[in-house]
Amino acid sequence: MTLLSLAVEHFRCTRRAQLRFGRGLNVLHGPNDLGKSSLAEAIRAALLLQASSRDYEGFLDWTGSGDPHVELVFESEPKRIWRIRKTFGSSSSVFLDESPNGVDFHVEARGRDVDGRLSDLLRWGLAPPGGGKGRPKGMPITFLSTALLAQQDQIAAIQDQALSKDSDDSGKKRLIEALQAVAEDTLFKAVLIRVQARVHEEF
């Protein structure tokens, strides 16, 4: 998954902001209280939190001027681009749009169906609404969501999170697929052979 852009309105201290992400590493920097953590939380909310959840109260605009709104665009694979549009609060709404080019979008899902489609797309160990061991209330936490979207002051939380706590086994399956792909990589194999040879030399 590759994040492409983020737009937020009335989200905590951020009245309005738009970001375009470049390929590779992106760094948000600036003085304290600029809204960097709020933008990171907006990404988590777009991907993981149901728009109807009461946890939205933590996102309310500090000036009280509007309902929190997030638009996140990401690419799941080449020519499959998705846009999540979520408005939290009294007038909550949620849409998932798909596009082959990032320009022409069509509505793929709306309402409660969006969270089910996101669970399928992400495969982060989060059951769709009504499925698995039961979707957690509020902001859900899974092994992969903790590893990939850790809060700034909770980086070590991944050490306390286990795959067995996930509400379904999609995260475990995705990790197995990733490890199998790494094991088949020719560079990885070459490095492993070199390391094993050095271990034999030493011991």
Higher pLDDT: 3 or 151? It is 3
Residue 50 pLDDT class (50, 70, 90 cuts): confident
Q: How far apart are CA 138 and CA 59, in angstroms?
A: 13
Q: How far apart are CA 106 and CA 54, in angstroms?
A: 29
- Position 183 scores a pLDDT of 85
Contact status, residue 86 vs residue 70, Cβ threshold 8 Å? yes
Q: CB under 8 Å to 5, separation ≥6 — which residues?
A: 18, 19, 20, 21, 71, 72, 73
Contact status, residue 18 vs residue 7, Cβ threshold 8 Å? yes
Mean pLDDT of the chain: 86
Q: How far apart are CA 197 and CA 192, in angstroms?
A: 9
Output the furthest CA–CA distance in the chain (Å, rounded). 68
Residue 35 pLDDT class (50, 70, 90 cuts): confident
User: How big is the chain, counted in residues?
Assistant: 203
- For Cα atoms 22, 23, 27, give the angle at the middle one, nearest 5 degrees: 55
Give this prediction's pTM.
0.82
CA–CA distances in Å: residue 109 to residues 74, 78, 82:
16, 20, 11
Q: At what angle do helices 112-122 and 36-48 cross, to 10 degrees?
A: 100
Contact status, residue 128 vs residue 113, Cβ threshold 8 Å? no
Q: At what angle do helices 186-202 and 170-184 cross, to 10 degrees?
A: 70
- Position 5 scores a pLDDT of 95
- Position 40 scores a pLDDT of 87
- Sole residue written with tokens 């809204």: 35
3-state class (DSSP) for residue 83: strand
Model confidence at 83: pLDDT above 90: yes
Contact status, residue 114 vs residue 97, Cβ threshold 8 Å? no
- Position 132 scores a pLDDT of 58
Model confidence at 151: pLDDT above 70: yes
- Position 133 scores a pLDDT of 66
**What would the pLDDT profile of 106-146 be if each residue is shown by its tens digit?**
999 999 899 889 999 999 888 887 765 667 677 888 888 88
Q: How far apart are CA 106 and CA 29, in angstroms?
A: 34
Residue type, 102: G
Model confidence at 9: pLDDT above 80: yes
- Position 18 scores a pLDDT of 93
Model confidence at 97: pLDDT above 90: yes
Q: What tokens were used for 179? A: 């490890």
